[in-house]
Amino acid sequence: MKTDPTSPAPIEALTIEEAAAELERLAAEIAHHDRRYHQEDAPEISDAAYDQLRRRNDAIEARFPELVREDSPSRRVGAAPGQGFRKVRHSRPMLSLDNAFSDADVIAFFTSVRQFLRKDEPFRSQPDAPIAVVAEPKIDGLSATLRYEGGRFVLGATRGDGEVGEDVTANLRTLRDVPQQLADPAPAVLEIRGEVYMTRADFFALNQRRMAAEEPIFANPRNGAAGSLRQLDPTITAERPLRFFAYAWGETSEEIADTHSGALERMRGWGFQVNPETRRCASIEEALELHRSLAGRRADLGYDIDGVVYKVDSLAFQARLGFVTRAPRWAIAHKFPAEQAQTRLNAITIQVGRTGALTPVAELEPVTVGGVVVSRATLHNEDEIQRKDVRVGDQVVLQRAGDVIPQIVSVVLDRRPPDAEPFRFPDICPACGSHAVREPGEVVRRCTGGLICPAQAVERLRHFVSRNAFDIDGLGEKHIAAFRADGLIHGPADIFRLAEDPAPLVGREGWKETSIANLQRAVRARRQVPLDRFIYALGIRQVGEATARLLARNYETLDAFRSAMVAAADEAGEAFHDLDSISGIGASVARDIVQFFAEPHNQQVVDDLLAAGVTVTAVAAPRQVASPIAGKTVVITGELERMTRREAKARAEALGAKVAESVSKKTDLVVVGASPGSKATKARELGVRTLDEAEWLALIGDA
Ligand code: IVH
């Protein structure tokens, strides 16, 4: 598995297609590291590098919410629980936070909160009324949940994957900051959540002791805290200086407060440590001021913090704002700025992707940036190289921000070698020698070799067998490239043929009877594949996992999907309209799908797969929610009184409805607000049921 933190582009420059490919790669890579860390106890990368991967994943998802994968690491929140501890299902999931990296991100967060709540007082009458938030240091430890029944501590667990954690009650009992019995009267059931951490002084002392005892030392306090909490023998934990700050809660048998600040006050009363730097801020300015102040005093705090968390103070607003996938809409983590380092750019290499995109990669003299050794960085595209005038031999400034991938911020011109030449981006594909061209308006240069380009072919096959496509184990890049070079496989169907008739593998170097049998087993196990994986595996431009799932749910069978895509070649026709009106599929994506099926060789790939014995099954219907709109296709149009369209959409989806952007015969319901446009007219023309806002609220049980 590749752990080198290198990849295509800064997030703002990613195309949807690149983003989807990268999310796929990140999901596989993060799952791999989770396994290494938790199941195999043999991490390959530092915690910081791991966090970077997750942050990049989150950042891409934030920009392309439609691409969030079913198996996204962000849906798992933390790592899957390891062996050894009893597993505990959390009464309420333990969520994560979205990140902000600049004041502008924070302002955008406040704006989006206000937008969401704009039908509520005071925002209705005062669109830019201040929003009170609580700002808390973001403690760099690991989160835990503590359950109290009748005021007594009965269960403590790690976050695990956010849904299921590990029962570490005995270990948490050894922490001074975890009260066994609550001081003030408390609800019958009360779950307090917060961060287990270690102070820097305690961490250094612990490492001293470990060094003296010739035990391996911990890389940082967070590692020390995690390693100490996850001890099977609680007497070891008892010797470790762990602490706990309370900042959130899970299940409670009664409401504990009206505001977050009120809840923290009650936590203090019950005997918990609440971080003393916590402040209620009446405005954005106050919140940003606290961030600046903490950033300056960071080193003096005695424990590691990596940012400031802002939480909307009103719990009524929090309830309205709710959650997206895994993070609350009412909170955000404002991270501290990136760490930088300087190093030499040794070379610029060009990678060719599945769709022929040429991506320049900086090959660097290895250097540590914020605890991670970096030897490669993305240069994004040719414009970027030109804009920064990056030359081989230059000293460059690297930065790790919230991104996983280090970026080249600038070139140190004073240190440029006199003979350094401007970089000339190739106009020939380095893999196949075909012309590489840039379409007008595109930033990406692409190889025109198509089917003859070995790099593209290998990348396509790799994509085909990848974990979220056909998930064929044991067929790595090296094998694919070698099989292809030797003419054993040309297209995806050949993988199935080769498994049925492995004669060409017999006697090949590295292929023994068992490895052939393993490959056969792996391939046979994937003969049957759900439609969404099948669509995703085809590698259609811009069709990531999320889009493939949308398509599969809408068309249900491969036959229906294929014939609809062929029919959709006519952009004025109904088939194209149906495709285009699936919420989450825009015109540009729709065109790429249609174009794919318009190519005879692509149709041939599908036919070949079916001929090779692949069967495609209908996808399981989405989790059924018992609601009057579950499974219905809903369109929302016009201005609503009580909620914004965005909130209405979120509510409809939470109740199991599909929300579409335009009205067709397949629409079940159109919710019509004030001053509706053509969608309402269209609904009446087609005889689709329309609801006014009051009827809508009554239907979803919110009247
Ligand atoms: S609130 C529903 N507050 O950061 C929101 N989290 O990136 C739950 N963290 O999993 C989290 N300090 O481990 C919250 N003051 C704070 C925090 C904090 C540290 C950690 C926590 C969480 C992660 C999210």
Helical axes 47-63 vs 16-34, angle rounded to 10°: 150
Among 46-60, 70-84, 314-328, the minimum mean pLDDT is found in 70-84
Say which of 138, 311, 649, 679 is annotated catalytic: 138
Residue 396 near residue 417, CB atoms below 8 Å: no
Nearest protein CA to atom 22 of ligand 1, as residue:
96
Provide CB contacts within 8 A for 442, sequence distance 6+.
Answer: none
Residue 345's pLDDT band, with cuts at 50, 70 and 90, is very high
**Predicted pLDDT of residue 402:** 44
- pLDDT reading at 39 higher than 70: no
pLDDT band (50, 70, 90) for residue 155 = very high
- Report the C-alpha gap between 206 and 572 in whole angstroms: 70
Ligand 1 centroid to 97 CA: how many Å? Answer: 6
Top-level CATH class of 11-75+338-415?
A: mainly beta
Q: According to the model, what pLDDT value does residue 349 have?
A: 96
Task: Choose one of 51, 77, 96 to mutate for the ligand 1 pocket test, by most ligand atoms within 8 angstroms of C-beta.
Answer: 96
pTM of the complete model = 0.53
> Encoding tokens for residue 51?
């966090």
Quote the ligand 1 centre to 194 CA distance (angstroms). 7
Q: How far is the CA of 249 from the centre of ligand 1 (A)?
A: 11
Residue 7 scores a pLDDT above 60: no
Average pLDDT over residues 10-25: 87
User: Ligand 1 atom 17: the closest Cα is on which residue?
Assistant: 138
Q: For residue 372, what pLDDT is reported?
A: 63
pLDDT > 90? residue 47: no
* CATH T-level fold of 87-324: D-amino Acid Aminotransferase; Chain A, domain 1 (3.30.470)
Confidence (pLDDT) at 82: 46
Per residue in 200-219, pLDDT (tens digit) is 889 889 988 888 887 777 87
Residue-wise pLDDT tens digits, 360-399: 999 999 887 765 678 888 888 899 899 999 999 999 998 8
Integer-rounded Cα Rg, in Å, for the chain is 27
CB atoms within 10 A of CB 319: 9
**What whole-number percentage of the chain has pLDDT above 70?**
93
Atom 11 in ligand 1: which residue has the minimum CA distance?
96
The whole-number average pLDDT for the span 294-314 is 91
pLDDT of residue 611: 96
CA of 317 to the centre of ligand 1 (A): 19
Assess whether pLDDT exceeds 90 at residue 546.
no
pLDDT at res. 371? 58
Q: Which two tokens stand for residue 172?
A: 């948490």
The candidate with the shortest Cα–Cα distance to 388, out of 427, 366, 365, 362, is 362
Q: Could you tell me the pLDDT band of residue 40, with boundaries at 50, 70 and 90?
A: low
Q: Pick the residue whose CA is nearest to atom 13 on ligand 1.
A: 143
> Which of 133, 136, 138 is the best mutation target for the ligand 1 pocket, counting ligand atoms within 8 Å of the beta carbon and taking the most?
138
Distance separating alpha carbons of residues 130 and 145, to the nearest angstrom = 32
3-state class percentages of the chain: helix first, strand second, coil last, to nearest 5: 40, 20, 40
620 pLDDT above the threshold of 60: no
Domain boundaries, the chain: 11-75+338-415, 87-324, 530-617, 633-700
Q: Domain 633-700 falls in which CATH fold?
A: Rossmann fold (3.40.50)
Ligand 1 atom, smallest distance to 331 CA: 5
Strand-pair partners of 373: 368
pLDDT higher at 335 or 41? 335
Kindly tell me the burial class for residue 450, based on how many C-beta atoms sit within 10 Å of its own C-beta (0-12, 13-18, 19 or more): middle
CATH superfamily of 530-617: 5' to 3' exonuclease, C-terminal subdomain (1.10.150.20)
pLDDT score, position 79: 45
Task: Evaluate whether 363 touches 344 at the Cβ level (below 8 Å).
Answer: no
Residue 327 alpha carbon, nearest atom of ligand 1: 2
* Band (41; pLDDT cuts 50, 70, 90): low
CB atoms within 10 A of CB 501: 9
Q: Residue 467 has what pLDDT?
A: 84
For ligand 1, residues with CB inside 6 Å are 95-97, 136, 138-139, 143, 195, 247-248, 309, 328, 331, 333
Cβ atoms within 10 Å of 425's Cβ, excluding its own: 17
198: pLDDT strictly greater than 70: yes
Averaged pLDDT, 429-437: 94
Q: Check whether 551 has a pLDDT greater than 50.
A: yes
For ligand 1, atom 10: residue with the closest CA: 96
Task: Report the mean per-residue pLDDT for the chain.
Answer: 88
Residue 356 has pLDDT above 60, yes or no: yes
Q: Whose CA is nearest to atom 18 of ligand 1?
A: 138
Reading across the β-sheet that carries 243-252, which strands appear in turn? Answer: 152-158, 142-149, 189-197, 243-252
Amino acid making up residue 190? L
Instruction: State which of 139, 291, 315 you would mutate to test the pocket of ligand 1, scoring each by most atoms of that ligand within 8 A of its C-beta.
Output: 139
Q: Determine the average pLDDT of the residues in 665-679.
A: 89
Question: What does the DSSP assignment read for 332-376?
Answer: EEEEPPPEEEEEEEEEEEEEE-TT-BEEEEEEEEEEEETTEEEEE
Question: Atom of ligand 1 at shortest distance to CA of 333?
Answer: 7
Residue 676 CB neighbour total at 10 angstroms: 18
- Say whether 119 is catalytic: no
How many Å apart are CA 252 and CA 193, to the nearest integer?
A: 12
